[in-house]
Every structure is written in structure tokens, then in C-alpha cells.
Amino acid sequence: MVFIPIVSVSLNDNLKKFLDKLISNNKYKNKSKLIRDAILRLQQSPDFSNMDAATIDFFTPLTKKIIGNMIIVVPNDINILKKLNKIENNYSDQIVSKNQQFYTNNPHNTFFMVFEGSLQDFRSIVVEINSIKEIKNFRYLIIN
């Protein structure tokens, strides 16, 4: 089991209502997923890449080579599979292994992928996969 620390955040009423609206409109499953996605997107932004060296030292270097694995459960829908396939093609050099499980009597497909590349690219693929709102379940783990 992977331990994920809990971080408390204080928000004003307007921000809380905005988060609740995003979740109720099915943009995100829960507040944790929404906030994780927002932080990952912020790390990808030009503002983050231009931070001074003293600040960046507090973060894991984005150029570090990692191995990560991903498990993705998606509905058996051709349009959703095309979205996922497009993302996979963009990262074909970094996806070193992929297994798919299709079930005839199950409305969902399961994908298992092993990723080898930079931490920055791993974060990018995670954000892109998270942007597919129809995904039923998505888990990832950085192995090293």
C-alpha cells in the first residue's frame, strides 16, 4: 500500500463553491483529484520552469529518469479509446510495456502501462490521462 500524505487547505467560500461545482458537474471525481491535477498542471506551466534555482531545490528535479506504472480503467467506447490512444502515441518512446484487457461482457477495459522517461514527461502524461473525464479509475506509481 502506498502512503499518500494528507494536506489540509483553507479556502474562501467562493473557491469552495467553485470546487464543489466542478465536482458536481462531473469534471472531477473528488476534491483531492481536482487539486492534484491543478498542482501537476501548475508544475508544467512556464511559471514553474522559470522559478529561481533556490526554490527549485525543494522539488524533485523534473529531468530525473524514472520508471512508473499506470493502471487505467475506461469504458468500452471507441471515442474514449481514441483519446487514450492519441496520448499513448504522443509518449510511445517512453511507454516500454502495455497490456490491455478487454472483456466481452464487461463495459470497461483495463490498461496496464510501464513508463520509462523523465519525471516531467511522466507528470505530463498523468495530466493528459486525467483530462479524459470518462475514465472510471486511474492509478499511477513511480517505482524509483
What are 68-118's pLDDT values in tens digits?
999 999 988 889 999 999 999 999 999 999 998 877 777 888 999 999 999
In the predicted structure, residue 1 carries a pLDDT above the cut 90: no
Q: How many CB atoms lie within 10 A of CB 125?
A: 21
Rounded percentage of the chain residues whose pLDDT exceeds 90: 31
Mean pLDDT, the chain, as a whole number? 81
Domains of the chain: 12-59 (no CATH), 60-144 (3.30.70.1150)
For residues 66 and 144, the answer to whether their CB atoms sit within 8 Å is: yes
